[in-house]
Structure 1
Amino acid sequence: MDDLTHDAFLCGKLHLWQPRRGYRAATDPVLLAAACPALPGQSVLDLGCGVGAAALCLAARVADLRLSGLELQPDYAELARRNGIENGIAFEVHQGNLTDMPRALRVNFDHVIANPPYYPAHGTRSPDAGRATALQIADTPLADWVQAATRRLAPLGWLTLICGADGLPEVLMALGSKMGSISVLPLTPRLGRPALRILIRARKTGRGQFRLLAPLIIHDGPAHTGDRESYTPRAGQILRSGASLSDEFR
């Protein structure tokens, strides 16, 4: 167990095993889960599910979901299965590549969620192989993630994705004519700062207009001061209490 940590999410509603070193889930999967408009009884596929943080945070808010996950790295896939079992959440996790998806996942889902790698391939790689694979755009660009998600969605199904703000042009290009009703929610670290992350929702065969939404501000104050939490009240509701981002996407 020395190479793993057992971390609380959503004020202890979930406890997840994670590698002590390497890629570790933080706020991005919690925000992704909050943005997914899933309803009880619907099916959800988490592409690149890691240790299962996004899917399991979603299940903590929405009951009776049919959860599936796809993860490239076997160790992370095994942790995702373990985390589902230990949190009492049914979660079917498959190990494999989204460009050659396991046959069991080649069905239509009501929702696909994804937190793709976002650091550019030419950047400095992490010395930890798992973290490098999880964070850097290597052989699988953002467009491939969007296209894989589109293929797995049922008509009128929703894709919910979080990525770096600089990935927006590539994502919009990849959504093409099959996906519509696109909404983009910028995630701003502090008031007056540029957005570093964005949440995107798009609907297969949707016909709604494109919407650029008012940003969600994550932290109070102009700068971080001391070793303390500085979430805005709204960000705290989402990141600590598991609230939905439905109001922001209205």
Structure 2
Amino acid sequence: MTALTADDFLGGRLTLAQPRTGVRTGSDSVFLAAAVAARPGERVLDVGTGCGVVALLIAYRLPGVMVDALEVQPSLVELARANAERNGLGDRVRVLEGDLAQAPRELPRNAFDWVVSNPPYHDPAAATAPPDTAKARAHVESTLDTQAWVAQCLKFLRPRGHIAVIQRADRLADVLDGLAGKAGDIRIVPLWPRVGAPAIRVIVLARKGGKGALALTPGLVLHGEGGAFTPAAEAILRHGAPFPLS
């Protein structure tokens, strides 16, 4: 059996089990979940949920929202389901096993108000896969590249629904290619490690069928002098604050 750790999120408001080694979730997932502004009664789909962190953070932050979570690796599906039950969110978070390229029938197309995803960051042509099989599947593209992944996610959104994706900053063009011709009202939100440093991640938000112009937002500086999180980043990571998108 894989050794697990029990990790606190949002200052201990959620405690989630994760593999001690291999597929582990960090601050990227917390920032992505904080960018979701679903309203009570709306449906959210988290694609590539891993052990369920993004889905559970959304469900905790937004009590009136129902969340479906899709994961291809059976061991992580079981872990995500256990995490949902352990944190009292099993009634609003449904974890499904399946590949985005061939999603299960339980996931209807054109049905969700929000689709969120933290897709694999690495192009197999430019990266060496980790020796851990589960970690390699989560971090390196396999059945779908980023462009195809984003385009496939859009199929599950209702018209005018929202998509939120986090990706490495140098893969931004691939995310935009996946949205091209299918989504608009695009907002690019850079995550800066510190003032004056290049962005390491971007959150991209868009609306299916939207016609508005692309906007580059100020984004979020993560660390101040000395390496501590900035107050704005700390508010998201420890206190569940929504992402400051304006």
Q: What is the TM-score normalised by the length of structure 1?
A: 0.93
Q: Could you say which residue in structure 2 is the equivalent of 1:188? A: 192
Amino acid at match of 1:189: P
Is residue 198 from structure 1 mapped to residue 202 from structure 2 by the alignment?
yes
Residue of structure 2 in register with 1:173 after alignment: 177
CA distance in 2: counterparts of 1:88 and 1:39, whole angstroms:
20
In structure 2, the residue matched to 1:81 is 81
**Cα offset, 1:120, TM superposition:** 2.4
Q: Which runs of 4+ in 1 moved over 6 A?
A: none
Q: Which runs of 5+ in 1 are unaligned?
A: 225-229
What is the distance in 1 between the residues matched to 2:88 and 2:140?
A: 32
Q: SS of 1:106's equivalent? A: coil
SS at match of 1:21: coil
What's the TM-score once normalised by structure 2's chain length?
A: 0.95
Structure 1 residue 145, shift from structure 2 partner:
1.5
CA distance in 2, matches of 1:161, 1:2: 29
Q: Following the alignment from structure 2 to structure 1, what is the Cα–Cα distance between the partners of residues 122 and 230?
A: 26
Counterpart for residue 245 of structure 2? 249
Say which SS state the counterpart of residue 134 (structure 1) adopts. helix
CA distances 1:101-158 after superposition (whole Å, capped 9, x unpaired): 0000023100000000102213122111111111112332011211111100001100
- 1:19-98 superposed matches below 5 A: 19-89=19-89, 90-98=92-100
Correspondent of 2:121 among 101, 105, 118: 118
Per mean C-alpha deviation after superposition, the further-off stretch among 233-242 and 138-147 is 138-147
**Quick one: which amino acid aligns to residue 104 of structure 1?**
E
Q: In the aligned structure 1, how far is the partner of 2:3 from the partner of 2:72? A: 20
1:101 to 75, 94, 103: 103
Deviation at 1:184, TM superposition (A): 0.3
* Cα offset, 1:183, TM superposition: 0.1
Name the SS for the 1:28 alignment partner.
Answer: helix
1:126 aligns to what SS in structure 2? coil
Identical residues among aligned pairs (%): 42
CA distance in 2, matches of 1:215, 1:105: 32
Query: Which residue in 2 is equivalent to 1:238?
Result: 236
> Where does structure 2 lack aligned partners over 5 or more consecutive residues?
none
Which residue identity is paired with 1:116? P
Which residue does the alignment assign to 2:224? 220
Look up the equivalent residue of 2:241 and give its one-letter code: A
Residue identity matched to 1:121: P
Say if 2:59 and 2:93, in contact at 8 Å, map to a contact too.
no
SS of alignment partner, residue 147 of structure 1:
helix
Show CA shifts across 1:10-32 (max 9, x none).
00110101111101011011001
Deviates more, 1:144-153 or 1:108-117: 144-153
Partner residue, 1:150: 154
**CA-to-partner distance for each residue in 1:55-99, whole Å, 9 max, x for gaps?**
111111111211101101000111111111111112111111001
Secondary structure, counterpart of 2:79 in structure 1: helix
The 2-side partners of 1:120 and 1:236 are apart by: 31
2:219–2:245 CA contact under 8 A, matched in 1: no
**Structure 1 residues 2, 112: closer, same or farther in 2, change over 3 A?**
closer
